[in-house]
C-alpha cells in the first residue's frame, strides 16, 4: 500500500480560510447532557460534560463499550442534539451538520454506484462548485491519498484500507476545519491499520486541521493524539484528560518507550475500572 502523502501547498488552489489559519476548528462543549427517550424508558448516554479542544489539536476519545463516545462525537457533528448544554464550533452553536465538519465512519459509507473520483467530488458538487473545480479537488485528494490510478474504479473494486482512504479524502474535500472520526480503522488488519495511522498523521500535519478520533485501541490513541480523553462507564463523561508529549513526527518504535508504556498503563487501568463498573451495572 502506498502511504506517501504529497505536499498540498502546490496542489490546493481552493484552500479555504479554515485551512489557511489555525484560528479555526475550535470546539467548545459546555455542560452537555444527552438523553434518548423519555420517562421510564429514557436512557442517558452522556452526563454533564465540558471540553475545550483548541484549533489544530488531535484528540482521541477512549472508554468502555457503550460509554457514549460515538454519541458525544455525533453531537459535535450535529447528528445528535444535546438534551441540555451546547456544542460550539468557532463560537457558533452546533444546530445541524455542516461543511465545517467532515465525518469518517468505521463503515466506509461510500456511494457504491459512483466512481472513486465522483465519491470525492460529491461534497464540492453539493456545495456548488463548478464541474472543473470538483474534478480538480477530486484529483488533488486522490493524489494525496495515493489512489490516482484508481480514480475510475468503484468502491467494491478496492480493499478495505483503500476504501477508507477514499472516505478520508471525501471528508476533507470540502476543506472542513474539523475532522471527526468514529473508529475509522477498526475493521482493518493490524498492518494496514498502522499504515493508515501514519498516513492520517501526515495529512493532519499538512492541513493543521482539528481531529477528534474515537477508538477502542489504546495504542492507537496514544500514537495519534495530542490529548487522550477517557470516558466513564455509561452515562459517559470525561474523567481524565491525558496530554501526550511524545515528539512528532511519531514513529511506531515509540510504542516500546517508557513514556508510551506509562500512558498506556494509565489508560488501561482506568478503562478496566470503568468496564467493571459497566459490567456490574448490567448485572444488577
Tell me the pLDDT tens digit for each residue of 142-166: 998 889 999 999 999 999 999 999 9
pLDDT of residue 22: 61
Asked if residue 281 has pLDDT above 80, the reply is no
Region 250-277: mean pLDDT is: 94
Residue 173 is part of a domain; what is its CATH number? 3.40.50.300
- Per the prediction, the chain carries an average pLDDT of 89
Region 221-248: mean pLDDT is: 96
pLDDT of residue 284: 63
pLDDT of residue 23: 77
pLDDT of residue 58: 98
Residue 58's nearest CA partner among 268, 222, 269 is 222
Residue 6 lies in a domain: no
| C-beta separation of 185 from 146 below 8 A | no
Asked if residue 70 has pLDDT above 90, the reply is yes
pLDDT of residue 176: 94
pLDDT tens per residue, range 80-120: 999 999 999 999 999 999 999 999 988 878 999 999 999 99
Residue 158 lies in a domain: yes
Asked if residue 138 has pLDDT above 70, the reply is yes
Tallying the residues shown for the chain, one arrives at 284
Residue 40 lies in a domain: yes
Please tell me the distance from the alpha carbon of residue 154 to that of residue 149, in angstroms, as a whole number. Answer: 12
Q: How many CB atoms lie within 10 A of CB 78?
A: 18
Residue 9 lies in a domain: no
What percentage of the chain reaches a pLDDT higher than 70? 90
Asked if residue 5 has pLDDT above 90, the reply is no
pLDDT of residue 229: 98
Residue 200 lies in a domain: yes
Q: Which of 8-12, 30-34, 108-112, 261-265 has the lowest mean pLDDT?
A: 8-12
pTM of the predicted protein model: 0.89
Asked if residue 17 has pLDDT above 80, the reply is no
Please tell me the distance from the alpha carbon of residue 32 to that of residue 101, in angstroms, as a whole number. Answer: 19
Integer Rg of the chain from CA: 19
Residue 98 lies in a domain: yes
Asked if residue 238 has pLDDT above 70, the reply is yes
Residue 7 lies in a domain: no
Helix pair angle (116-126, 131-144), 10° resolution? 130
Give 6: exposed, middle or buried? Use CB within 10 Å, 0-12, 13-18, 19+. Answer: middle
C-alpha pair distances (Å), 261 with each of 201, 213, 215, 278: 20, 20, 18, 25
pLDDT of residue 13: 38
pLDDT of residue 6: 37
- Which DSSP string do the residues of 144-208 spell out, in sequence order? HTT-GGGTTS-GGGS-HHHHHHHHHHHHHTT--SEEEEESTTTTS-HHHHHHHHHHHHHHHHHHT
pLDDT of residue 207: 86
- Look up cell 473494486; give the residue: 157
Residue 206's nearest CA partner among 194, 198, 217, 214 is 198
Residue with the larger pLDDT of the pair 248 and 6: 248
Tell me the residue range of the domain where 37 lies: 17-282
Residue 175's nearest CA partner among 146, 153, 213, 144 is 144
Residue 8 lies in a domain: no
Residue 1 pLDDT level (bands cut at 50, 70, 90):
very low
Structural domains counted in the chain: 1
Region 210-222: mean pLDDT is: 97
pLDDT of residue 3: 38
Residue 35: strand, helix, or coil: strand
* Pairing status of strand 84-89 against strand 27-36: antiparallel
Residue 7 pLDDT level (bands cut at 50, 70, 90):
very low
Region 217-233: mean pLDDT is: 97
Amino acid at each position: 500500500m502506498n502511504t506517501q502523502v504529497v505536499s498540498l501547498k502546490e496542489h490546493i488552489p481552493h484552500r479555504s480560510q479554515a485551512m489557511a489559519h489555525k484560528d479555526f476548528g475550535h470546539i467548545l462543549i459546555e455542560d452537555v447532557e444527552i438523553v434518548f427517550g423519555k420517562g421510564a424508558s429514557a436512557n442517558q448516554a452522556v452526563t454533564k460534560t465540558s471540553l475545550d479542544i483548541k484549533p489544530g489539536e488531535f484528540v482521541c476519545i477512549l472508554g468502555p463499550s457503550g460509554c457514549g463516545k460515538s454519541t458525544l462525537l455525533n453531537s459535535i457533528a450535529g447528528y445528535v442534539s444535546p438534551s441540555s448544554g451546547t456544542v460550539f464550533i468557532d463560537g457558533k452553536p452546533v444546530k445541524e451538520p455542516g461543511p465545517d465538519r467532515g465525518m469518517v465512519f468505521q463503515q466506509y459509507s461510500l456511494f457504491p454506484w459512483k466512481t472513486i473520483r465522483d465519491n470525492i467530488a460529491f461534497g464540492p458538487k453539493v456545495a456548488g462548485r463548478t464541474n472543473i473545480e470538483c474534478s480538480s479537488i477530486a484529483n488533488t485528494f486522490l493524489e494525496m491519498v495515493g489512489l490516482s490510478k484508481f480514480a475510475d474504479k468503484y468502491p467494491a473494486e478496492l480493499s478495505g484500507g483503500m476504501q477508507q482512504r477514499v472516505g478520508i479524502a471525501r471528508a476533507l474535500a470540502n476543506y472542513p476545519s474539523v475532522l471527526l472520526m468514529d473508529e475509522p480503522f477498526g475493521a482493518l488488519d493490524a498492518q494496514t491499520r498502522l499504515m493508515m495511522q501514519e498516513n492520517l498523521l501526515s495529512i493532519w500535519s499538512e492541513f493543521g486541521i482539528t481531529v477528534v478520533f474515537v477508538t477502542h485501541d489504546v495504542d492507537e490513541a496514544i500514537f495519534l493524539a495530542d490529548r487522550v480523553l477517557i470516558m466513564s462507564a455509561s452515562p459517559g463523561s470525561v474523567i481524565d484528560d491525558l496530554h501526550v508529549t511524545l515528539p512528532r513526527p511519531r514513529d511506531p518504535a515509540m510504542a516500546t518507550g517508557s513514556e508510551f508504556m506509562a500512558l498506556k498503563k494509565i489508560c488501561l487501568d482506568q478503562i478496566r475500572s470503568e468496564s467493571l463498573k459497566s459490567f456490574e451495572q448490567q448485572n444488577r
